[in-house]
């Protein structure tokens, strides 16, 4: 088969959609500060408010004012945890409950609060990566300040039962936050149905620009700014508006909403083809994550007897871009904390690859990957001293 270039790392980031890129470039001419009172400033501001409405529509928020623009998922998550720091220092509730499979920006924010003396519980997940609801129920109580559970996992794609999680969180009287960075634009997201007080989004995961994201904050939920300064975003996030980033986010959100149903069916079909092809091509390979409650684009597979970095580099030589885990964890030799939490042993976790598909993926891409993976794993297994 002829060499191809296949990008299957859409969970790390997505390409900028051409139509979004074109509008952003055109908008670079609009240099006015969106906080300026003159006509040009007001025009820039009006575009920002249109984008806010677009993002709100994508997540089912009826009031666009509840969406705050940030620099991305990491900042949105940290803003929520910093808010809890301020609340917990003053109020009676201090307990933080989260899971073992969160993105490092939640895990490390939670660890920071633990260092500051907050009681923090990391709840287990089951073998498929779904939070153990029985443990969650035991972990929350009248002292719980925040329950933070990611909607879908970036490494294995497992989607949580958000309604059940939310019910438990809210019954305890705690605030409920969800990192929906990997969910928005890939599955139906509805802040009201999920009952979130806070929800994190990031634009570069939905074919928009990097460095722009959002935080949904329910009416009445408190918020402390992480960045203090001017009055932008009602004083919750200071700094001159990122006009073009916000415009790109709004456009990407509109397109994602319009295309979501088609995306779910088409990309889900490609994922099934990839999964079946890999399982047939590579003996003893096994799929990680939930068989049913999983992102349509994410497939995580363990290849016993082969090492993840070696697989990744061999695939790279064939023009295939995949990942061994989250982009933030790659480069570290630690096995994936997500796979470990699902009970995958360290050796198998080291031999696991995340394939994440996206809008530009095709059947030909999938078939190319299937054709290459068998010989690559067979070669690496021959060189390996590990029995499997
Ligand atoms: C689940 C999850 N949360 C947060 C982030 C961080 O988002 P950002 O890159 O916008 O800071 C990522 C990015 O990989 C993610 O996958």
pLDDT in tens, 48-59: 999 999 999 999
Average pLDDT over residues 130-155: 98
Average pLDDT over residues 311-339: 84
* All structural domains of the chain with their residue ranges: 6-15+260-383, 18-255
C-beta 166 within 6 A of ligand 1: no
C-beta 14 within 6 A of ligand 1: no
Mean pLDDT, the chain, integer: 96
Instruction: Map residue 341 onto helix, strand or coil.
Output: helix
Query: Is 328 labeled as catalytic in the residue annotation?
Result: yes
Contact assessment for residue 376 and residue 315, using Cβ atoms and an 8 Å cutoff: yes
Does the pLDDT of residue 204 top 90, yes or no? yes
Does the pLDDT of residue 369 top 80, yes or no? yes
Does the pLDDT of residue 353 top 60, yes or no? yes
The alpha carbon of 249 is separated from its chain's Cα centroid by a whole number of angstroms, namely 15
Percent of the chain's residues with pLDDT above 70: 98
**Count helices and strands in the chain by DSSP H and E runs:** 12, 12
Give pLDDT, residue 155.
98
Average pLDDT over residues 272-297: 98
Give pLDDT, residue 331.
56
Give pLDDT, residue 30.
85
User: 378: CA distance to ligand 1 center in Å?
Assistant: 34
DSSP category for residue 286: E
The alpha carbon of 172 is separated from its chain's Cα centroid by a whole number of angstroms, namely 26
C-beta 74 within 6 A of ligand 1: yes
- Does domain 6-15+260-383 fall under CATH 3.90.1150.10? My reply is yes
Rounded CA separation 309/140 (Å): 39
Classify domain 18-255 by CATH architecture: 3-Layer(aba) Sandwich (3.40)
Average pLDDT over residues 149-153: 98
- CB within 8 Å of 70: residues ≥ 6 apart: 76, 79, 212, 213, 214, 215, 237
C-beta 73 within 6 A of ligand 1: yes
Please name the residue whose Cα sits nearest to atom 14 of ligand 1. Answer: 12
Cβ burial 257-275 (10 Å sphere, 16+ → b, else e)? beebeebbebbeebbeebb
C-beta 323 within 6 A of ligand 1: no
Q: Which atom of ligand 1 is nearest to the CA of 102?
A: 1
What is each CA distance from 292 to 154, 157, 268, 355, in whole angstroms? 16, 10, 11, 17
Q: Which atom of ligand 1 is nearest to the CA of 150?
A: 1
Does the pLDDT of residue 384 top 90, yes or no? no
Tokens of 166: 């939310």
Helix or strand (DSSP H, E) at 385: none
Rounded CA separation 122/383 (Å): 38
User: 81: CA distance to ligand 1 center in Å?
Assistant: 15
Q: Which of the following is catalytic: 22, 40, 328, 383?
A: 328
Does the pLDDT of residue 3 top 90, yes or no? no
pTM: 0.97
DSSP string, 226-243: SS-SSSGGGGTS-S---H
Average pLDDT over residues 137-150: 98
Q: To 10 degrees, what angle do helices 18-27 and 243-281 make? A: 160
pLDDT tier at 334 (50, 70, 90 boundaries)?
Answer: confident
Does the pLDDT of residue 310 top 70, yes or no? yes
6-15+260-383 and 18-255 share one CATH topology?
no
CA-based diameter of the chain, in Å?
71
- Give the CA-trace dihedral at 254, 256, 260, 263, to 10 degrees: 150
Residue, of 91 and 121, whose pLDDT is higher? 121
Give pLDDT, residue 81.
98
C-beta 182 within 6 A of ligand 1: yes
The alpha carbon of 16 is separated from its chain's Cα centroid by a whole number of angstroms, namely 17
C-beta 103 within 6 A of ligand 1: yes
Does the pLDDT of residue 329 top 60, yes or no? no
User: 202: CA distance to ligand 1 center in Å?
Assistant: 7
pLDDT tier at 2 (50, 70, 90 boundaries)?
Answer: confident
pLDDT tier at 365 (50, 70, 90 boundaries)?
Answer: very high
Give pLDDT, residue 388.
76
Average pLDDT over residues 362-382: 98
pLDDT in tens, 238-264: 999 999 999 999 999 999 999 999 999
Does the pLDDT of residue 1 top 80, yes or no? no
Average pLDDT over residues 345-369: 97
User: 104: CA distance to ligand 1 center in Å?
Assistant: 9
């Amino acid at each position: 088969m002829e060499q191809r270039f296949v990008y299957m790392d859409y969970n790390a980031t997505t390409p900028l959609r051409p139509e979004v890129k074109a509008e952003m470039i055109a908008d670079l001419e609009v240099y006015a500060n969106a906080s300026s009172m003159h006509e040009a400033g007001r025009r820039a501001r009006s575009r920002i408010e249109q984008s806010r409405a677009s993002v709100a529509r994508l997540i089912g928020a009826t009031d666009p004012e509840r969406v705050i623009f940030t620099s991305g998922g990491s900042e949105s998550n940290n803003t929520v945890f910093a808010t809890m720091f301020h609340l917990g220092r003053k109020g009676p509730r201090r307990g933080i409950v989260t899971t073992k499979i969160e993105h490092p920006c939640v895990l490390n924010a939670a660890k920071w609060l633990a260092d500051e003396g907050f009681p923090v519980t990391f709840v287990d997940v089951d073998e498929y990566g779904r939070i153990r609801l029985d443990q969650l129920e035991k972990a929350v109580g009248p002292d719980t300040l925040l329950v933070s559970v990611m909607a879908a996992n970036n490494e294995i794609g497992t989607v949580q039962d958000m309604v059940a999680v939310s019910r438990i969180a809210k019954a305890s009287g705690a605030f409920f936050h969800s990192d929906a960075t990997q969910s928005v634009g890939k599955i139906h997201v509805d802040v009201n149905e999920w009952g979130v007080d806070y929800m994190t989004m990031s634009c570069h995961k939905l074919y928009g620009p990097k460095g722009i994201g959002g935080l949904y904050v329910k009416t009445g939920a408190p918020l402390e700014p992480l960045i203090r300064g001017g009055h932008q975003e009602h004083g919750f996030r200071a700094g001159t508006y990122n006009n073009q980033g916000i415009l790109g986010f709004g456009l990407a959100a509109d397109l994602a909403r319009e295309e979501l149903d088609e995306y779910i069916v088409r990309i889900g079909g490609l994922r099934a083809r990839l999964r079946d092809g890999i399982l047939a091509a590579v003996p003893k390979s096994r799929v990680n994550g939930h068989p049913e409650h999983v992102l349509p684009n994410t497939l995580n597979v363990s290849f016993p007897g082969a090492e993840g970095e070696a697989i990744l580099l061999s695939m790279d030589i064939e023009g295939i871009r995949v990942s061994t885990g989250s982009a933030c964890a790659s480069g570290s030799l630690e096995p994936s904390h997500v796979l470990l939490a699902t009970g995958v042993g360290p050796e198998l976790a080291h031999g696991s690859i995340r394939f994440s598909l996206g809008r530009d993926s095709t059947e030909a891409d999938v078939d190319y990957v299937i054709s290459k993976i068998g010989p690559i794993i067979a070669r690496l297994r021959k060189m390996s001293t590990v029995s499997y």
